[in-house]
Every structure is written in structure tokens, then in C-alpha cells.
Amino acid sequence: MPFNDNIFDVVFCHTLFQHLKEPSEALKEIYRTLKPGGLVALRDDDSSSLILAPETPEMTKVLEIMKKIIAHKGGTPFVGKNYKHFLLESGFKNLIVTTSCECDSKLEDTKMRGKIAKELLTTFKNDATKLGWVTDDEMENLIKKSEEWGSDPRAFDAIIWCKAIGFKN
């Protein structure tokens, strides 16, 4: 990072670490740039905790593709559960590691989730088809099914968010 040593009081990273190839290296850089007594706060969801209903083969495939894309691009869709390890490895002390759960049960919220899934799948379509995970037709069907899922009055989803705070001594 193009910052001097010991200049920040706080660094907050929200849904960043799941997309990084080297979370430990990023935390070492954050540690370097924090002032003594400074803190880092992290928050990422853990894709292995995602539940949704109704559970269909299409939506299971949607989730599988999203996890594969993150991993293919060098990220770790399950990084949150390893925050403690990464923070300790990077020199942070006095850790506070917790979780929370986010869920969508109102139709307006599940519609929004379905729309987000549709947009992500559209963005990842070329990669997923080039890598042979799905055909163009299958991807179009998954995009359609994501939006349909969000509009289903029975739709529900929940995911665990991993949260951690570490201090530089």
C-alpha cells in the first residue's frame, strides 16, 4: 500500500478479504500503516453458511458458481472463519472475533437478492461458460431462475457474517 508507516488510527474492511489472494499479506500491510494502539476491523460473509429456501437444483448451482468464481479469481469465499488465524499471524493482539446473521424474509428483500444474483451471474457469464462450468443456455436459465427465486413469496435466505477487530500494540 502506498502509505507511510504508523499513520492510520483505524482501518475497516467490509467484504474485501474474501476477494484477496493473500489475506495475510494485506493484514501485514494494514498492521504496518496503523499507529500503535490502532485497530483493524474486518467483516466478510462466509459462503459455506448460506442457506436459502426454496432450495432448488438451479439455486444450488447459482451458489456453486458464485463460490467458484471468487476462488477462480484468487479469493477465498470462506475467509471469515479464518480471521483469527490471519490476525494473529500478522501481529495483531487483543482480538475480538464474533459473528452475526443476516437474513432476508420480506418479499422486497428477496427480490433485491434475486436481482443481485442475476446481475452477478450476468457479470460472470463469460468466465463461467469459458471455464466449462455451464453452457450459455444453462447460464441464461440460472439468471432467470435467480430472479424467479427472489420473487417467490416463500423465498428466504440467511448467511453468517464473520467480524473481527485486532489491535496493534
Tens digit of each residue's pLDDT (9 = 90 or more) over 6-48: 999 999 999 999 999 999 999 999 999 999 999 999 999 999 9
Query: The whole model's pTM is what?
Result: 0.87
For domain 8-167, give the CATH number.
Answer: 3.40.50
Q: How far apart are the first and last CA of the chain?
A: 20
Give the list of residues 6+ apart from residue 60 with CB closer than 8 angstroms, or none.
none
Give the list of residues 6+ apart from residue 147 with CB closer than 8 angstroms, or none.
114, 115, 117, 118
Q: Which residues are bridge partners to 2 per DSSP?
A: none
Grid cell for residue 122: 450476468
CA 22 vs. chain centroid, Å, equals 15
**Cα distance between residue 40 and residue 45, in whole Å:** 17
The pLDDT of residue 1 is above 80: no
b/e map 48-74, b = 16+ CB within 10 Å: ebeebeeeeeebebbbebbbbbbeeee
Q: Which residues are bridge partners to 98 per DSSP?
A: 163
Under 8 Å between Cβ of 114 and 143: no
pLDDT digits over 94-103, tens only?
999 999 999 9
